[in-house]
Chains A and B, each alone.
Chain A
Amino acid sequence: MKLGIPRALLYYDHAPLWSTLLEGLGFELVISPPTNKAILDLGVNRAPDEACLPVKICYGHLAALEEKVDALFLPRMVSERPKTFFCPKLMGLPDMVRPELAAELFSPLVDLRRGKRELIRQLSDTLDRGQRQVREALGFAERSLNRFLKKMQEEKLTPLEALAGRSLRRKASQRQIGLLGHPYLLYDSFLNMGLISFLEERGFFPLTAQMLPPQQIQRCAEKLPKKLFWSMEAEIMGSAIAFLEEQVMGIIHISSFACGPDAMIGELISLRAKQSGTPLLELNLDEQTGQAGLQTRLEAFLDMLQRRCPA
């Protein structure tokens, strides 16, 4: 059976987990191509107007796959840690997209507050495989996810580089820029108009949350007076504080227009950056494909960093 996985949203966080699990259970996988204009157009046409851009793009990826597969795989992401949640749009996503799709949708509930046994039961039900078989495949999948996460941290790689099996250990040079934001914004080079290569071409090393030890991020996130219950935002906030610890030259925070949780932590981040005197650039992404606005701000930011501390 051919199963389609959209290269969108949490793909950049969990890719090896789901691909190892599903392949282990005997599915043939089709992963949608990197985001392109056709996928964006498909998504914008299908998604409800008030959805954020990453959700619209996910619609586009699902649409690009639906004719090529027997079913689509899109888990319902509710919680991965106690007392934390994913964004409500992710929780409701399977219900939002289902009526629009020509192919069947497999969306097991991922709510780890209920424990792993419940997850195994969910996977077993939606994928129609025995629980024992799922448990075994999940064990492999988790190890593969951990190797992926560790590789990114140890070799300072982006998810795409780690997935492609690249193992160039990049030198964390003096000129580090902390790159903050959801992985689906940071690593989708169509969406962010090639941000990472833009920085690299100009001699800056983009440091991201995925390249930091999770213990450090968690310890930093706990410095907040109140714990954030959005798990993705807690990670972004924790890495913002960790970047300040690492004394990056500057921080770039990418968010997408109409992202509720990001709007709130945006303020928290700018307060912290201001206290430590670290320059912060906030960039807001939406459907525009004109690169001028983004480039002007980035160029000016890099000029400012360079003039503040000449190499």
Chain B
Amino acid sequence: MGYYLGLDVGSVSTNFVLLDKEGKVVWDLYLRTEGRPLVAIEKGLGELAKENPKVLGAGTTGSGRKLAGVLIGADVIKNEITAHAVAALALVPSVQTVLEIGGQDSKLIILRDGVVTDFAMNTVCAAGTGSFLDHQAARLGVPIEEFGKLALKAKEEVRIAGRCAVFAESDMIHKQQMGYPTEEIVAGLCSALVRNYLNNVGKGKELLPTVVFQGGVAANLGMRRAFEKALGTKVVVPEYYSVMGAVGAALLAKEEVANTGRSKFKGMNVANWENEAGSFECPHCPNQCEIVEIKQEGKVIARWGDRCGRWSNVEVAV
């Protein structure tokens, strides 16, 4: 029995999944990236090696997709939007709207008849994403796993300004000092973030059911309820909501391998190899590009970061 491997290396989490030939998730792993994607990837590969699967194809996505891709020899290296859309479509075929909130960014994908017709991503600001919720949970002394449940206990909601994370925080502190109960503040925060998401990312878009909510933040019951209230429709959270990017990457890998006939995956021994990432500033022109160099088992396997191609085009040992 062979499997397809999907890897989603995001800012907050690094996720692995294995799909069987029917596209069913047979194994998944959610790890915190903690700012060190290389370490997280190695750790995940170590866990994967214990399962010792026969990998027929591999795909990567997320902001660390390129790094993960060269390390394992991925068949596809895809952007998160395509990966999330493919996964949502596979698990919820009737989907027309995907709400995805991750660690650093939030996305909205509009599908019609099984094809992406529009999408939007938050701009440079990460307000209202997972890392902000994480931060607020820590500040209120509520474990992030309990955060959403707490919101459900609230009878009333406190109005929190959601436009900007910095303002939201000072608003929350103010409301705390006034004596509002924590659960009402938490519920208010969830509504504020949903309002902000719909105004900012969703502006002018038609959000039709079936609505699928995925990404790490979908675990938050308060956020789910706030979305349902704002949209006036049921929101579906798929079973593997937190690893949907990885599921999409694996599905895309399956598609790619079906086309090419063979996989570029380096095999399970990658789990034992030494990897190293370094960087240097190129001295050749005023652009001073920062070049990243990835070594595996002491050999340079990839370089990037240059604008002119001087470094990335260099023939490297694979």
Q: Which residues of A contact B (CB under 8 A)?
A: 36-39, 190, 193-194, 270, 274, 279, 284, 286, 288, 292-293, 295-297, 299-301, 303-304, 307-308
The stretch of B24-32, B185-193, B222-230, B284-292 in contact with A is B284-292
Give chain A nearest CB distance to B52 CB in angstroms. 33
The stretch of B78-86, B134-142, B155-163, B169-177 in contact with A is B78-86
- In angstroms, Cα B124 to Cα A308, docked, is 28
Smallest Cβ-Cβ distance to A282: which chain B residue? B120
- Choose among A286, A288, A303 the residue with the greatest number of B CB atoms under 10 Å from its CB: A303
Q: List 30 A-B contacts (CB under 8 A).
A: A37-B287, A37-B289, A38-B287, A39-B286, A190-B307, A279-B117, A279-B118, A286-B124, A293-B124, A295-B79, A296-B63, A296-B79, A296-B81, A296-B121, A299-B78, A299-B79, A299-B82, A300-B80, A300-B81, A300-B82, A301-B119, A303-B78, A303-B79, A304-B116, A304-B117, A304-B118, A304-B119, A307-B116, A308-B115, A308-B117
- Choose among A288, A297, A300 the residue with the greatest number of B CB atoms under 10 Å from its CB: A300
Chain A positions within 8 Å of B124 at CB level? 284, 286, 288, 293
Given known contacts A36-B287, A303-B82, A274 and B116 CB-to-CB distance under 8 angstroms: no
| 0 or 1 for each of B74-113: is its CB under 8 Å from A? (1 = yes) | 0000111110000000000000000000000000000000
Given known contacts A288-B124, A299-B79, A303-B81, A36 and B117 CB-to-CB distance under 8 angstroms: no
B204 x A270 contact (CB < 8 A): yes
Complex partner residue of B288 from A37, A293, A296, CB under 8 angstroms: A37
**B260 adjacent to chain A (CB < 8 Å):** no
| 0 or 1 for each of B119-136: is its CB under 8 Å from A? (1 = yes) | 101011000000000000
B286 x A38 contact (CB < 8 A): yes
Smallest Cβ-Cβ distance to B285: which chain A residue? A36
Given A295-B79, A308-B115, A308-B117, 14 more pairs with CB closer than 8 A: A36-B285, A36-B287, A37-B289, A38-B286, A190-B307, A270-B204, A293-B124, A296-B63, A296-B79, A299-B78, A299-B79, A300-B82, A304-B117, A307-B115
Given known contacts A296-B79, A296-B80, A303-B82, A194 and B286 CB-to-CB distance under 8 angstroms: no
- In angstroms, Cα B80 to Cα A295, docked, is 11
Chain A positions within 8 Å of B286 at CB level? 36-39
Interface size (B, Cβ < 8 Å)?
21
Give chain B nearest CB distance to A248 CB in angstroms. 16
Complex partner residue of B119 from A286, A288, A300, CB under 8 angstroms: A300
B288 x A274 contact (CB < 8 A): no
Give chain B nearest CB distance to A299 CB in angstroms. 4
Smallest Cβ-Cβ distance to A303: which chain B residue? B82
- In angstroms, Cα B118 to Cα A308, docked, is 11
Smallest Cβ-Cβ distance to A280: which chain B residue? B118
A194 x B307 contact (CB < 8 A): yes
Give chain A nearest CB distance to B203 CB in angstroms. 9
Q: What 7 A-B pairs have minimum CB-CB distances, sorted nearest first?
A: A300-B81, A38-B286, A299-B79, A36-B286, A303-B82, A37-B287, A304-B116
Smallest Cβ-Cβ distance to B64: which chain A residue? A292
Chain A positions within 8 Å of B79 at CB level? 295-297, 299-300, 303
Chain B positions within 8 Å of A288 at CB level? 124
Chain B positions within 8 Å of A36 at CB level? 285-287
Chain B positions within 8 Å of A304 at CB level? 81-82, 116-119
Smallest Cβ-Cβ distance to B116: which chain A residue? A304
Chain B positions within 8 Å of A303 at CB level? 78-79, 81-82, 116
Complex partner residue of A292 from B63, B82, B117, B287, CB under 8 angstroms: B63
Give chain B nearest CB distance to A215 CB in angstroms. 32
Given known contacts A190-B307, A194-B307, A297 and B121 CB-to-CB distance under 8 angstroms: yes
| 0 or 1 for each of B35-56: is its CB under 8 Å from A? (1 = yes) | 0000000000000000000000
Chain B positions within 8 Å of A270 at CB level? 204
Chain B positions within 8 Å of A190 at CB level? 287, 307
Smallest Cβ-Cβ distance to B119: which chain A residue? A300
- In angstroms, Cα B123 to Cα A300, docked, is 15
Give chain B nearest CB distance to A45 CB in angstroms. 14
- In angstroms, Cα B289 to Cα A194, docked, is 14
Chain B positions within 8 Å of A37 at CB level? 286-289
